Structure 1
Amino acid sequence: MPDTQTPKDYITPHQMNTLKVALYALIFGTLITLFKLTAYLLTGSVAILSDTLESTINIAAAAVMLYSIWYASRPADKTHPYGHGKIEFLAVGFEGILILFAAIFIAFTAIKKLISGPASINVNIGLGFLFIIGLLTAGLAYYVSSRGKKLNNQILIADGKHLITDVLSTLGVFLGLILVKLTGWLWLDPIIAIIIAAIIFPMSWRLLWQSLSGLMDRSDPADLKRIHEILDREVKAASITSYHKVRVRHTGSYHWVDMHLQVDPTLTVAQSHTLASAIEYKIEQALTPANATAHVEPSGAYCEHNPQSPPPPPYSSDAPSKPALEPARDDKASAQPIDESENLEPIDLAPPRNDTPPPPTTPTSKPSPPPPPAPAPKNPDEATPDVFTVENAITGSGDLYELAHEEASPLQEEQESENDPTNNYPENITDEESDDDFNAPNPNA
């Protein structure tokens, strides 16, 4: 869904004041530039032209500054969890680049004017305009610089420095025109322009360095000093035993602080959390706007970031790399036999089944009757017949095994039963009746 928030929904009063200062700087900077342009058109002074060009860059820088302050005031989101304050450093770098190009252009124009020869200029009109312009620029520079320091906004501070260089350049042009009027040396006009370019060149380099330092998260020594003062007071008050790894960085004017605090090891987790939260609040109030995070450690514990902490425990190669996930068995449980039958797969004793049907038999063929079963041996010394045992089933041997697993189609068994003349036995004959008939004497013998 689109963002339906308006600037009033997320811009704080602090940010609104910053936007107002940037807007005033843009409006008054535009008026000052128009005054300088009018002065150049009336006088034809290359020094006034250089000053006008610098003021034009001030307008562009003020417009970028206004947009950057508005964008930096947007709240944090999923893609920018630390907010949008880094754009302030980009705006400072952009302003530094503009000043650098302005210095190069002013120096190039002045040298060209010096080589081609000086031209006549109307000094009296130029002096009057420059006096008014100087007063307006000085008042605007003081207002932006003081408000920028009070609001702790890097963009306003950078723009205030830029306006100060503008005041110096206007003052230099004013003094140069006075010398031209007193001496009549027209070649002083381009020389003054070159001096102005040399003055504003270091300012551009300082702004570029400030932008690069902010983007690289360079710590401010003044901020670190204030944080250490607060933590030292907490150590003296016995709230904490010591501290280390104090770090601070900026996203625009916003401070991000993290540190390690060592406390009494007898404190509970809740007590340690309450103590750390109180110290975080004090630091946030001292560096407003800020966000502080404290990592709590028991006093005397090893910490790789604390050079005064005791050495870590010696490394043992016999120690397990990971804790056991299951508790060890007790003696009673380990003494009981383990039933591994659940892990055994059942053995199929039957041979592989042959699903191929036997070849059909002709109706004229009469199979021979099966041989009668051998009588059971009465003498234990005699050889025992081949019986169906588990060993034979496993090895797949024995005549009875083969007979027991011999298969025939139902049609073949029916034909053999009908064509067998000796099959005079009833269907439900028992084993005992079969033995009696077999042992009965033959009357025809």
Structure 2
Amino acid sequence: MDKFKAAYMAIGVSMFLVIFKVSIGILTNSISIISDAMHSSMDVIASTLTLIAMKLAKTPEDKCHNYGHGKYEDLAAATQSILIFIVSVTIITQAASRIINQNLITDTLPGIFVMLVSITLHSVTVFIMLKSAKKEGSIALRANALHLLSDVITSIGVIVGLIIINFTGLKIIDPIAAIVVALIIIKTGYDIGKESIAQLLDKSLSTEETKLIGEIIEKHSPPVLEYHHLRTRRVGQAKQVDFHLIFPTSYSLLEAHNISNSIELDIHQNIPAVRTTIHLEPESHYHPYKY
């Protein structure tokens, strides 16, 4: 399944679960189920943002955006993290109010059923989305999948709380479970936000990828005497790599260009979705760049 179909599926599943959870939450007066429904409502918004971002990211390069529009995906992921935080604070506030006012759950069995349905549907959706995100290198789809994965985790927490209430009669566990759910959601939002902001700030590629690029360059030495000024970053799904190569002064431009083409091909074969820019320098004119 491609990433767009996966995003549409996530929206459909989340919309169904919002209606289902709200209905059961109101019926049983369960704040933990209602809080989980609020989380699912954010899933609808997050999945819609992801879909829009992925479509915008596919917009071709233009004279104002020479590197394309890939960062829309990172922006969508960062927005998701903010939404997650807002929902979490709302859940904690509502749960605290229930504890203070003793407005507690009335029935647990319908809630247990709806949580089992939620866990099953979200688990399947997360598996498909993570598979698509890995295949196509989409940070927005991966962030959305992790958001839904937090739903699976929180639903498990809610169902455990409902089972305990069913056997012990301790109804205060319901709002306490909601607060625990909110704290887990905050952690998920933090992880999503941290990664997306790092990409927006042009964080370098992984240590493994950077090391691999260096090893590929060194395989062509000689004639390459040295390389320097290696820089990497991600622009949406694409990876941007640029560096300087130093050749013997006696080497012709054509010879140096052929070697750099060979290096570029090796990098492309080992690192998917990469763009390279190589600056050629003769040994006699080498000078380090200073900032």
TM range (shorter): over 0.9
Is it true that 1:149 corresponds to 2:134 in the alignment? Answer: yes
The match for 1:138 is 123
The match for 1:240 is 224
1:244–1:261 contact (8 Å) kept in structure 2:
yes
| CA-CA distance at 1:239 after TM superposition | 4.5
* Cα offsets for 1:130-186 (capped at 9, x unmatched): 111111111111211222122111101111111111111100000000010111000
The match for 2:21 is 36
The match for 2:64 is 79
The match for 2:83 is 98
* TM-score (structure 2 length as normaliser): 0.93
Is it true that 1:123 corresponds to 2:108 in the alignment? Answer: yes
The match for 1:19 is 4
* Cα offsets for 1:349-376 (capped at 9, x unmatched): xxxxxxxxxxxxxxxxxxxxxxxxxxxx
Matched position secondary structure for 1:31: helix
1:55–1:166 contact (8 Å) kept in structure 2:
yes
Q: Aligned equivalents of 1:291 and 1:95: distance in 2?
A: 28
2:29–2:106 contact (8 Å) kept in structure 1:
yes
Report the residue type matching 2:260 in the other structure: A
Q: Aligned equivalents of 1:285 and 1:82: distance in 2?
A: 21
* Cα offsets for 1:195-237 (capped at 9, x unmatched): 11111112212222222212211112243233223223333xx
The match for 1:219 is 204
1:240–1:262 contact (8 Å) kept in structure 2:
yes
Range 34-43 or range 176-185, more displaced: 34-43
| CA-CA distance at 1:47 after TM superposition | 0.2
Q: Find 1:295's aligned residue among 269, 274, 279.
A: 279
Q: Aligned equivalents of 2:212 and 2:125: distance in 1?
A: 31
The match for 2:164 is 179
* Cα offsets for 1:297-322 (capped at 9, x unmatched): 2246432149xxxxxxxxxxxxxxxx
1:35–1:133 contact (8 Å) kept in structure 2:
no
Distance 1:271 1:28, change over 3 A: same
Q: Aligned equivalents of 1:49 and 1:247: distance in 2?
A: 48
Distance 1:246 1:167, change over 3 A: same
Is it true that 1:278 corresponds to 2:278 in the alignment? Answer: no
| CA-CA distance at 1:81 after TM superposition | 1.5
Higher RCO, Cα 8 Å, sep 6+: 2
| CA-CA distance at 1:288 after TM superposition | 2.3
* TM-score (structure 1 length as normaliser): 0.62
The match for 1:161 is 146
Q: Which structure: greater helix fraction?
A: 2
The match for 1:53 is 38
Report the residue type matching 2:183 in the other structure: A
Q: Find 1:230's aligned residue among 216, 235, 239.
A: 216
Stretches of structure 2 that go unaligned for 5 or more consecutive residues are none
For the pair shown, the structure with the greater C-alpha radius of gyration is 1
Q: Aligned equivalents of 2:269 and 2:19: distance in 1?
A: 43
Q: Find 1:69's aligned residue among 54, 71, 87.
A: 54
Report the residue type matching 2:215 in the other structure: E
Matched position secondary structure for 1:109: helix
Q: Identity of paired residues, percent?
A: 30
Report the residue type matching 1:123 in the other structure: T
2:33–2:158 contact (8 Å) kept in structure 1:
yes
Report the residue type matching 1:260 in the other structure: H
Q: Aligned equivalents of 1:256 and 1:76: distance in 2?
A: 14
1:234–1:240 contact (8 Å) kept in structure 2:
yes
Aligned positions, number: 289
Q: Aligned equivalents of 2:283 and 2:134: distance in 1?
A: 39
CA RMSD of aligned residues (A): 1.8
| CA-CA distance at 1:124 after TM superposition | 1.1
1:89–1:252 contact (8 Å) kept in structure 2:
yes
Is it true that 1:192 corresponds to 2:174 in the alignment? Answer: no
Matched position secondary structure for 2:219: helix
1:96–1:204 contact (8 Å) kept in structure 2:
yes
